[in-house]
Structure 1
Amino acid sequence: MPKYPGRLRANGQDGDLIAAPMTMMPKSAEFEHRDAERDAMPGRASVWASLPTRTRLVVVVLAIDVIAAIVCCAVLVLNARSAVKVEMNATRATVEPLVADTIRMARNPTPENLLHTLDLRLQTLRHVRVAVFDAAGERIGFVLPDLRRDDHVAPAWFVALIAPPPEQHELPIVVNGNPIGKAVVTAEPLDEIDEVWGYAVSLSLASLLLNLAVLAALTIAFGRVLKPLERLADGLTRLERHDYTAHLDLPASRELAVIAERFNRVAGALAEARAANGRLNRQLLTAQDDEGRRIALELHDEFGPCLFALEANAASVARIAEGENAPDRRKLAARAAEISGIVAQVQARNRELLNRLRPHALGQVPLAECLYLLLADFGRRHPGTAFEGRFEGLARCYGDLVDLTVFRCIQESMTNAVRHGNATHVSAQARESREPGRGIATLHVEIRDDGSGLKPGHGTGLGLSGMRERVEALDGSFTLDNAAPGAVVRIAIPIEPEEAEDVRSEDPPAPPSS
């Protein structure tokens, strides 16, 4: 069986040669199948995956902003709690010195006047509320205000987050060792909380406006950055549909410009490959027509006269046999000899035609012997040219496709050397090399002649194109250069270990004599 099943296949719609298995679905069905596979992948149906990239980036930025806002609010609440508590303690600590200072500065005060004076002075303190009572427990001065006033702006939930637990502290008022009343100090943090709330609202508004501006800028920037990617996706879709005229304008971004430039190069290479495949298909059709025309001409020029001569000799034998007299043995023997010679000529021409269509020895005898037989055949047909070959160390077989490629390349190269280069000496060699420690091998083939070499601006005919395509289909390399004198063809074909039928003889086969 061939070692490379389905290696090359011609697509009848657009002339592409593509690597594919032997059974292929139609293009429209193939695209639908790919889309169905993509839709069936895990996570394809999720809402997040269906969003555009720009929307997802904006959502990520929003999520980061929300997390940052939560962290900032937590830090603000913790700092506000600490600040309010410190402020409450500091204000409450000033009450006792203020009472002592008021008592010391009073001159012959009566208890009632002193308590009124203290009440007036203590009403000016912030963050605390102080109520002055006489010895009988009666309130002096104004009625004790509520802890929560209607003119505070901080909402209740914010107050609940920051306000410390309510505290009261009683301070006795003593004059000359006699208690005349007391001052009840109650913490009132709402003023401080209102200040913190105002600061938080201002900071939040500024942050909101800043974030909105940043989001708007990012939305515009992401759109400009991702626009080339959308064009790239459209270009890839066109390539997938075998439209190799797709071209991308280079964007301003250096990284995206590199991607666009690579895309344009790939599209150009695919267009060139498609054009080359189209030319190859036309050349293959032309070669088939030419081969059919040559075979028809040979059948007409060679087999036609032979068949006519056979028919004439058969008719002569029939006439001799039908005569009234006894058949002439000498005439019958002569006719039989002529028929035998014609049959031998037909057999020889038949073998030549079959060997041209398919070398019959390939696969039956070792590759090296087939190549030596090829050189011997060229020596018989071109006695004025010396043909030399070195094919030692080759495996018995590398697979039908590789063996036939090597055979045809050597055959075509020697034909070109004799027909176009007027060479008097042609040498061909093939050897196998292996990388140390690895099973990968390479088959190297070189054909060298001493002819006129390559002319400047030489064209590529069917023979050279056929050789190059055969070798490249096997992932090999093909080069044609001037050798001064003559020309040289170098071919390298990678060989997998399992592809070579490694049956090498102890002694290499001797070249057949011409």
Structure 2
Amino acid sequence: MTTAPASSPPGWAARPTLWARWPTRTRMIVLVIAIDLLAALLSCGVIVLNARSAVEVEMKAALSNVELLVSDTIDLAQAASPDTLLQTLRLRVQGLRHVRVTVLDAAGAVVPAPSHRQRRDAYDAPHWFVALIAPEPRQHELPIVVQGKRLGTARITTQPRDEIDEVWGYAVSLSLASLIVSLGLLAALYVAFGRVLAPLTQVADGLTQLERQDYTARLAPPASRELAVIAARFNSVAQALSETRAANGRLNRQLLSAQDDERRATALELHDEFGPCLFALEANAASVIRMAAAEAAPDRGKLTQRAEEISAIVGQVQTLNRDLLNRLRPHALGQVPLPDCLVLLLRDFTRRHSGTSFTGTFDRLGAGYGDVTDLTVFRCIQESMTNAVRHGGAARVTVEAGEVQDGSGSHLAIEVHDDGRGITPDHRVGLGLSGMRERVEALGGTLALDNGRPGTVVRIMIPFESERSEDSSAIPAA
């Protein structure tokens, strides 16, 4: 059995590294410095390799030239005395670059120089650089022979320090020049990165404004094309948030107005409809009480008439109560299939608006799609038919609702078509239409209002899950 790994301390996984905590400009400068250092190391490696090869070649050439010089001197001084020859040779090889020549007599003693020239014993190149560049020292002894007699020996030893000093001076000059160029480049990059990244700081400030629900934040388009696209998208998002906030404010105000209108309409209906009925019930009840309290026997016919009037008034009250409750919340939804609820809705409109014909086709509808979806379908059809009668003056209203399948999934397609006056140029969106749109969009659907020539067409598409439709088909019929 596997065990779950121990949980890390809170905030450990989200703790940023030192590199992540650095500003972007600092990280970019550090990357440039790292690239410069790598390039400097590679350059130093190339310089060392080339210098080693160049010093080696220079030492070979210097050794060959000195050997020729010694041989020529010996050949030219064949007639001179041995001491004069050795002194002449010692004088000619004194102070040569890249080599040191020591003249030995026949006994092996060093022949002193006739004049003391200042020899260079101090060098500029450090020892570690000399160790990298200097080749293996070479030594060659050339015999001094005159007329078949050996007068001494010329000992030639390579001395690469002069050549190494030249290479060191070149490397130092090149390094200083590269350093100055790199520092100038870093300064230019620091300024350039600051200018390039400045719009990102503006974006961060703008996002802070959005976080504080200040949707008036806007960014000026920067010179960079990529950052200009980001600024344009930011402004679009800020504008959309501002419009959404304004729309929510309007919706809240409309909701409050709708609630007040609904309460006002309910209060008016209770006053105009239920008030007279209750007054009539009270009058008939008082009449029955008076007849019952009279000394003479009550008139059975009048009692029967009063009872019938009370029964009729109670029936009227029940009808009014059912209509009021049905307007507040359709009692059949969730109890009977959705198509049957819509049929009852059409019958109710036909009863209340006898001058208008209402027909509907609901064969392709399932039994139900959930409380919210069913209520949305019911309210949208109810509001569309109300608008057709109240604002369009329609004589005929046709409703079609059913399931459709397309590439994006399953949808409920609803279409309400009337033959009324249609959409006028000065048409304004009222509470009913805006409420329908909000209901539909809350479910991920769309609502379109078009001229039907004649009349108006309301088209609604609401996505739904086919599994829910199959599960809801088990709702028993009323």
TM-score, length-normalised on structure 1?
A: 0.85
8 Å contact 1:471–1:478 — kept in the other structure? yes
Does residue 246 in structure 1 map to residue 232 in structure 2? Answer: no
Alignment partner, residue 305 of structure 1: 276
Q: Which amino acid aligns with 2:258?
A: A
Contact 2:78 2:147 in 1 (8 A): no
Give the structure 2 partner of residue 109 of structure 1: 80
Structure 2 contact 123–161 (Cα < 8 Å) conserved:
yes
Alpha-carbon distance between aligned partners in 1 of 2:473 and 2:127, rounded to the nearest angstrom: 97
The 1-side partners of 2:142 and 2:372 are apart by: 111
| TM-superposed deviation, 1:116 | 2.2
Equivalent residue number for residue 464 of structure 1: 433
Change (3 A) 1:489 1:177: farther
Q: Secondary structure at the match of 2:187?
A: helix
- Pair 1:360-2:331 in alignment: yes
- Distance in 2 (CA, whole Å) between partners of 1:183 and 1:489 is 117
Selected match of 1:91 from 59, 62, 72: 62
Match of 1:442 among 367, 390, 411: 411
Q: 2:314 aligns with which of 343, 356, 360?
A: 343
Instruction: Give yes or no for contact 1:429–1:446 (8 Å, CA) kept in 2.
Output: yes
Separation in 2 of the partners of 1:235 and 1:434? Answer: 43
* CA distance in 2: counterparts of 1:95 and 1:103, whole angstroms: 12
- CA 1:42–1:192: 2 relative to 1, 3 Å: farther
SS in 2 for 1:447: strand
Task: Find the partner of 1:216 among 165, 187, 191.
Answer: 187
| Aligned-residue identity in percent | 65
1:128 equivalent in structure 2: 99
8 Å contact 1:91–1:125 — kept in the other structure? no
Matched, 1:162 2:133: yes
Matching residue of 1:16: none
Identify the residue that residue 75 of structure 1 maps to in structure 2: 46
- Matched residue, 2:457: 488
Residues 130-182 of structure 1, C-alpha deviation per residue, up to 9 Å, x if partnerless?
Answer: 11111211111339x9xx95431112222222222333332333334433222
- Structure-2 change in CA distance of 1:350 and 1:291 (3 Å): same
C-alpha RMSD over aligned residues: 2.3
Cα distance change on mapping 1:177 and 1:484 into 2, 3 Å: farther
- What is the SS of the residue equivalent to 1:459? coil
Instruction: Report whether the alignment pairs 1:267 with 2:238.
Output: yes
Query: 1:278 deviation in Å?
Result: 0.5
Deviations 1:413-443 (A, max 9, x none): 111111111112211111212246x8x3122
Q: CA deviation at 1:326?
A: 4.0
Q: Tell me if the contact between 1:394 and 1:504 (Cα under 8 Å) persists in the aligned partners.
A: no
CA distance in 1 between partners of 2:143 and 2:302 (Å): 166
What is the one-letter code of the residue matched to 2:454?
Answer: P
Contact (CA 8 Å) 1:43, 1:49: kept in 2 or not? Answer: no
Shift of 1:186: 1.8
Structure 1 residues 425, 151: closer, same or farther in 2, change over 3 A?
same
Specify whether residues 368 and 304 from structure 1 end up closer, same or farther in structure 2 by C-alpha distance, changes over 3 A only: same
1:377-456 alignment, distance < 5 Å: 377-435=348-406, 440-456=409-425
1:344 Cα shift? 0.8
Matched with 1:18 is: none
Q: Distance in 2 between matches of 1:54 and 1:227?
A: 10
Deviations 1:111-142 (A, max 9, x none): 32222222222234321111111121111133
Secondary structure, in 3 states, of the residue corresponding to 1:101? Answer: helix
How far apart are the structure 1 equivalents of 2:168 and 2:156?
25
The alpha-carbon distance between structure 1 residues 89 and 310, as it changes in their structure 2 partners (threshold 3 A), is same
Give, as a single letter, the amino acid of the residue that structure 1 aligns with 2:411.
T
> Which range moves more in the overlay, 152-161 or 168-177?
168-177
Do the aligned partners of residues 181 and 500 (structure 1) sit closer, same or farther apart at CA in structure 2, a change above 3 Å counting?
Answer: farther
Structure 1 residue ranges without an equivalent (≥5): 1-38, 510-514
Q: Answer yes or no: is 1:500 the counterpart of 2:455.
A: no
Higher deviation after alignment, 388-397 or 403-412? 388-397
Rounded to whole Å, the distance in 2 between the matches of 1:113 and 1:476 is: 118
Distance 2:332 2:102 in 1: 124
CA distance in 1, matches of 2:14, 2:131: 44
SS of the residue corresponding to residue 245 of structure 1 reads coil
TM-score by length of 2: 0.91
Question: For this pair of structures, how many residues does the alignment match?
Answer: 464
Q: Distance in 2 between matches of 1:142 and 1:339?
A: 155
Q: Does 1:204 align with 2:175?
A: yes
Q: Hey, what's the Cα distance between the residues in 2 that align with 1:42 and 1:196?
A: 53
Identify unmatched segments of 5+ residues in structure 2: 1-9
SS in 1 for 2:400: strand
Which deviations, in whole Å up to 9, do the C-alpha atoms of 1:309-329 show, x marking residues without a partner? 222222333333334444443
- Find 1:191's aligned residue among 162, 166, 189: 162
Give the aligned partner of residue 55 of structure 1. 26
In the superposition, relative to structure 1, how do residues 336 and 142 fare at CA in structure 2: closer, same or farther (>3 Å)? farther
Q: Distance in 2 between matches of 1:43 and 1:360?
A: 53
What is the rounded CA distance, in whole Å, between the counterparts of 1:174 and 1:467 in structure 2?
A: 123
Correspondence for 2:264: 293
Q: For 1:225 and 1:471, how far apart are their aligned partners in 2?
A: 45
Counterparts in 2 of 1:503 and 1:279: CA distance versus 1, 3 Å: closer
Which residue of 17, 22, 35 corresponds with 1:64?
35
Deviation at 1:43, TM superposition (A): 5.6
